[in-house]
């Protein structure tokens, strides 16, 4: 594929993108861990569980609204 596209892929970056994108789309960490072949979720959490700022803000806003701001 690299030859056909004349692009060199960084396989580590592809793996990181794979894990992060699933987490960003709310796939549970246990499923992502299994898909990535990790022995446990601690590995997944350590490398792939970066929370995007906008996602963190949305979660905080939704939490605030669901508790009526109390």
Q: What is the pTM of this model?
A: 0.61
Handedness of CA 50, 56, 58, 63 (dihedral sign): positive
Asked if residue 20 lies in contact with residue 36, where contact means CB atoms within 8 angstroms, the answer is no
Residue 69 confidence (pLDDT) above 60: no
pLDDT band at 20 (very low <50, low <70, confident <90, very high): confident
pLDDT confidence band for 45 (50 / 70 / 90):
confident
The first and second tokens of residue 57, run together, are 């803000």
DSSP string, 11-62: HHHHHHHHHHHHHHTT--HHHHHHHHT-SSHHHHHHHH-PPPHHHHHHHHHH
């Amino acid at each position: 594929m690299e030859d056909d596209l004349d692009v060199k892929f960084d396989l580590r970056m592809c793996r990181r993108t794979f894990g992060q994108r699933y987490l960003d789309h709310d796939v549970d960490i246990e499923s992502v861990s299994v898909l990535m072949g990790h022995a446990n979720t601690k590995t997944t959490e350590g490398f792939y569980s970066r929370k995007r700022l906008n996602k963190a803000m949305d979660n905080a806003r939704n939490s605030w609204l669901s508790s009526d701001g109390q």
